Amino acid sequence: MEIDTHTKQQEITCDVLPFARSYQLEALDKAIRENTIVYLETGSGKTLIAIMLLRSYAHHLRKPSPFIAVFLVPQVVLVSQQAEAVKMHTNLKVGMYWGDMGVDYWDAATWKQETEKYEVRGFAFVSGL
């Protein structure tokens, strides 16, 4: 895509990691072009696809930008695992959240502070999904 100020579409370039497999690159390319759900077996590299996508969009996410990226996982341990992987392969600031932190009771001011600190947020939704 080219930058088009009339339609507000902006160029997104793939930021490929050298060890990515062809099916991961295909999923990345599709995710850059359109809304995409990637359904793959455990251990097949979905996290790597997400990291490459975050790297491709990083210039849109860096603060003071109002934009954020969010990842949702079904277990608290996966929040830490995913966040560490994102931190290792990007220079984005990552926040982690789950129920035992009391996030259900945070006020707007607390969430605003979190919004200003982090560019990527990981949430564990253990129940209710």
Task: Give the pLDDT confidence of 6-52 residue by residue, as tens digits.
Answer: 333 455 666 778 889 999 999 999 999 999 999 999 999 999 999 99
120, two tokens: 């990527």
Mean pLDDT, all residues of the chain: 87
Say if residue 127's pLDDT is above 90: no
104, two tokens: 């259900």
Q: Quick check: 92 and 86 in contact, CB under 8 A?
A: yes
Long-range contacts of 108-114 (CB under 8 A, 24+ apart): none
Superfamily of structural domain 22-124: P-loop containing nucleotide triphosphate hydrolases (3.40.50.300)
CA distance 22 to 2: 24
